[in-house]
Amino acid sequence: MPAKAVRKGGARSRAKSLKAYREKRRFEVTPEPTGDERSRTVRKKGPIFCVQKHLASHLHYDFRLEHAGVLLSWAVPKGPSLDPSVKRLAMMVEDHPLDYADFEGVIPEGYGAGIVMLWDTGTWKPSPGFEDVDRAMKKGELKLELDGSKLKGSWVLVRTGRGAERETSRSWLLIKHRDSGAAARDVTVTAPLSVKSQGDFVDILLADEPDLWRSNRPARGGESGRMLLEILEEAVRRKEKGSRSAARRGGKRTAKKPTKKRKKAAT
Residues found near Mn ion in the complex (CB under 5 A)? 54, 62
Distance between CA atoms of residues 256 and 243, nearest Å: 9
Distance between CA atoms of residues 199 and 262, nearest Å: 18
Q: Find the shortest distance in angstroms from Cβ 128 to Mn ion.
A: 31
> Which C-beta is closer to Mn ion: that of 75 or that of 235?
75
Contact 101, 66 (CB under 8 A): yes
The strand pair at 152-159 and 171-176 is best described as antiparallel
Helix (H) or strand (E) holding 66: strand 59-67
Contact 96, 122 (CB under 8 A): no
> Which C-beta is closer to Mn ion: that of 62 or that of 99?
62
Q: Find the shortest distance in angstroms from Cβ 75 to Mn ion.
A: 5
> Which C-beta is closer to Mn ion: that of 62 or that of 104?
62
Q: Which residue is nearest to Mn ion (CB)?
A: 54
Q: Find the shortest distance in angstroms from Cβ 93 to Mn ion.
A: 7
> Which C-beta is closer to Mn ion: that of 114 or that of 148?
114
Strand positions, DSSP E, 127-267 = 141-148, 152-159, 171-176
Q: Find the shortest distance in angstroms from Cβ 48 to Mn ion.
A: 17
